[in-house]
A and B are shown apart, each in its own frame.
Chain A
């Protein structure tokens, strides 16, 4: 490609969703300033509309031939487009759940939605980033918006602490990532993924001259592991999940994982794919530690947000297992797991939010007591979500684990698969605890669902999908595989 390093306005269409979203953010921000109190709801709808239009634009770019623009630092391919559509869709669902929470807890402010839009923009840049710099910029747009989102509940000490913690640790991780990037740049002479891939493919990886490449790789892996929340870089996850307002936790635990996986794919698979043997070993350790710690430590939690945080850590372990395999179908399995994880996590936090009342944060497992009496439908939905997370068929979570295990075994790591399933059984115990609270125990409190109909409807569809896609998973599996 000769024109790769030139700037040509006729290629801007490939970044149309991002450009539109950026414009929309500015408009929404300005409009919000002039909206008086009775019309504040408009910001929410404007945000949903902007997201929707961006999503349609991204959707229309699916199946376009791979295009690299902006001097090789921005890529449009199927993975980018599908990820964007999925992220925007999940964000829209998350925001439906969020609105109820914000009104209940007096956090309904225009900035909230602007920050969400900004973080979506950051994630879209990450997904399409094809140079180390673009990826880093996207990551920072995302992270800074998230820090602020968490701190938006500034009266709550827990939220401020969470924001600060996330900020400090996130800054360290960004620093490590940058450090790794600088080493890669130093040895390869380029920040473009294409050039780095060429360099790594032709380099003699065993020689001393390329040792710096290995160092850079380690720092990059640490940075990515931090963003994913893999053990031992997971310390921030439980505290931030617990401290942040539940609506932010919902968002934080879902959509950014897609972006983090996209960044992982861009840097490690597209860029340093030739070094797979090096990073796969690191990943194996990270994955097993994450699955083990996520499953065991969660056993002792009484706070459901914290519990779900540990559950996320263990899911991340499974996702990383997919990358250990080093084959395209393994990466496909990991991406499928991400899709499934987001579907489940959205529903799980959605139901946590559903139980919120004015001035009452329902974040203890005991708050679920007797839910099956008061709201059999949502208890059933939570049952589905929990069993799906535990990997019980016929729910979608089973196929995600199954796909990963199949790939891991086919790559020859039978022991790894056995370790993973044993911890999956251990983790089933805490999912059962929630089922126990809902079904086997009586409540001393009155649980009334006050959520608006739109949230109840979307939440129901979300949970039913976990069953329906579980019975017909073929399309999603094929889609995930087609991205590589």
Chain B
């Protein structure tokens, strides 16, 4: 087993990004080729995480550990388990799509654009593989910087506001995480996340730490009521930025709940699980209705993202209600459903934002009312768009269905009314997605510009086709993904249910 595989996955894109910056915008084509081939290499390398993964253990694999800041026992300690490994592959996968999608579209400072995405890829892989609290925090915060620039430099008209709001919101959330990490270090003498899992904490300590982590992760997910930065950021970000934001950066929040909140503060998680569940349900139902009335396509998808991410937090925190001694299936279903939902949302939201991107590149409008009857001029494109819209609405046979269904099944064992509320998303989700499809793709051509649209070219076709395959494959046969995460999730469930008091 190659021991420095994870390090390579982190640092290859980062140094590659530096190289691309050095190439500069004058040599844009070289920069493009270099970035895309680098991201493909990284993706192929990351696949060996999957092939060489031992899914029979919850222990960390591909571990690397070296002293970093000896004064505070901070280590460069990385490794993956069944929870983080799929997310890393999702990251490397989405990065390729984003870089290819930006190939022609980005004409201002193309090299810097590519470099920002490459660096962000490395940093996010770092987030998912860090096993040391400070290393995690460093990657977590550092990944904000490229995103800030991507939104601010290549974004829409109101990009400055969106970029700064995005940065400050997430920054505010995470500083509390830093304080609680330091608190636990002072108590337990170690910044290792795995040591923190075993650190015994009193009920009130757990409560404070839980809410500190909650601030960081809820902003990132984002949960109601701290979700307001997301629509702004999505609308203003360039297509690639939206894709990475929705497909990967939101998952960092969900991942945080898995890696920190549940194992470190199990008792507080239990105590406050009802609050989190209610917030998740508000996100699912209320934000679903908010999505319904949007006129801007990107905003609509952004709100639908919030609603779908509500399933992740719902599935995670429903485990406490769903669990009955001797029958852990409900709790397991919820947790695994949450994981599947994260991955599937990574595909679907990426696809939806790319679909909007295709339209935006042609007519430079995100308004639903600009379009109508797109099918007449772009039949191939409409085929893909409708497939992804169906997946977004949770049609069985697509990946969107699997995660939501598993979560609802899990929640059903907790409280039938919660399940009913969560189930409404299948109706509301279908309503806002299909209504948008109707207004954009079908019907009469009202705007003469629409009839002049040219259908997708080979590059766009390729990207959308890959995503379509992923969405359908996950929908029909999610078992391989469930298999790799199953043991880790079981272990996590044990940790979450074992009181530290």
Contact = CB atoms under 8 A, between A and B. Distances in A.
A405 B142 contact: no
A387 B71 CA distance: 24
B142 A436 contact: no
Contacts of B160: 436, 440-441
B106 interface: no
A318 to B, nearest CB: 13
A425 B144 CA distance: 14
Interface in B311-357: none
B474 to A, nearest CB: 34
Contact of B171 (A399, A425, A473): A425
A478 B137 CA distance: 22
B70 interface: yes
Interface in A403-450: 405-406, 409-410, 414, 417-418, 421-422, 424-425, 428-429, 432, 435-436, 439-441
A421 B178 contact: yes
B71 A436 contact: no
Contacts of B182: 402, 405-406, 409-410, 417
B138 A425 contact: no
9 contacts: A394-B138, A406-B185, A422-B172, A424-B175, A425-B168, A425-B171, A425-B172, A429-B168, A432-B164
Interface stretch (B41-49, B145-153, B419-427): B145-153
A435 B163 CA distance: 11
Contacts of B71: 474, 477-478, 481
A478 B72 CA distance: 11
A203 interface: no
A387 B144 CA distance: 11
Contact of A436 (B68, B137, B152, B186): B152
Given A398-B141, A432-B168, A439-B152, 4 more contacts: A409-B182, A421-B176, A429-B164, A440-B153
A393 B69 CA distance: 14
A406 B72 contact: yes
Contacts of B159: 440
Interface string B172-210: 100110110011011000000000000000000000000
B134 interface: yes
B167 interface: yes
B69 A473 contact: yes
A218 interface: no
Contacts of A405: 178-179, 182
Q: Which of B176, B182, B186 has the most CB of A within 10 A?
A: B182
B360 to A, nearest CB: 20
A432 B167 contact: yes
Nearest to B173: A425
Interface in A356-386: 372, 376
A392 B179 contact: no
B139 to A, nearest CB: 8
Nearest to B134: A402
Contact of B138 (A387, A398, A424, A439): A398
Interface of B: 68-72, 112, 134, 137-138, 141-142, 144-145, 148-149, 152-153, 159-160, 163-164, 167-168, 171-172, 175-176, 178-179, 182-183, 185-186
A402 B163 CA distance: 25
Given A392-B171, A394-B142, A439-B152, A402 B164 contact: no
A392 B145 contact: yes
A146 B112 CA distance: 43
A70 to B, nearest CB: 36
A4 to B, nearest CB: 35
Nearest to A372: B153
Contacts of B164: 429, 432, 436
Q: Which of B70, B163, B167, B185 has the most CB of A within 10 A?
A: B167
B178 A439 contact: no
Contact of B186 (A372, A409, A432, A474): A409
10 closest A-B pairs (Cβ-Cβ)?
Answer: A393-B138, A421-B175, A440-B152, A410-B186, A425-B172, A477-B71, A440-B160, A406-B182, A393-B141, A409-B182
Contacts of B69: 399, 473-474, 477
A348 B446 CA distance: 55
A387 B153 contact: no
A402 B171 contact: no
A285 B172 CA distance: 23
A428 B134 CA distance: 20
A405 B274 CA distance: 32
Given A428-B168, A440-B153, A422 B142 contact: no
Q: Which of A406, A435, A481 has the most CB of B within 10 A?
A: A406
A473 B71 CA distance: 10
Nearest to A470: B138
Nearest to A401: B178
A387 B145 CA distance: 9
A337 B175 CA distance: 18
A258 B99 CA distance: 47
Nearest to A408: B182
Contacts of A425: 168, 171-172, 175
Contacts of B167: 428, 432
Contacts of A417: 179, 182
A236 B70 CA distance: 40
B153 A418 contact: no
Contacts of B70: 474, 478
B238 to A, nearest CB: 13
Contacts of B137: 393
Contacts of B178: 402, 405, 421
Nearest to A477: B71
A132 B144 CA distance: 49
A428 B142 CA distance: 14
Contacts of B152: 435-436, 439-440
Contacts of A406: 72, 182, 185-186
Contacts of A393: 137-138, 141-142
A411 B175 CA distance: 19
